[in-house]
Amino acid sequence: MSQGVLGERVWLNRDKVPVPNHHRTVIYILNLVSGAGVILVIWGVAALVICPTLLGTVVVFMSKLWGLDRMVWLYREMEATTPEYARWLR
């Protein structure tokens, strides 16, 4: 299992085991940016205009890649402090 997937599991478990605020804030911002990109894509496709469609696609893709990077970072940080998470890769 990849560390990105494990980071997503850590993120989903944030109500039981709190994640650091510096991860929480960035992940929320990245989700907002991705949502704005989706709106651009929908508008571009509905209006049949290529520029907002491509721009929205790039924004969604890049924010999701950055989010995946953040999930790996989150997992690596949490496995060092939470024994349950450290056992997931063993």
What ranges do the domains of the chain cover? 3-81
CA 29 to chain centre: 9
Q: Dihedral of the CA atoms 14, 20, 22, 26 (nearest 10)?
A: -10
The whole-number pLDDT of residue 28 equals 97
pLDDT digits (tens, 9 = 90+) for 19-75: 999 999 999 999 999 999 999 999 999 999 999 999 999 999 999 999 999 999 999
Phi first, then psi, for residue 13 (nearest 5°) are: -95, 15
Q: State residue 18's pLDDT score.
A: 96
pLDDT at position 62: 98
Residue (of 25, 30, 36, 16) closest to 66 by Cα position: 30
Q: 67 or 1: whose pLDDT is higher? A: 67
- For residue 82, count other CB atoms closer than 10 A to its CB: 14
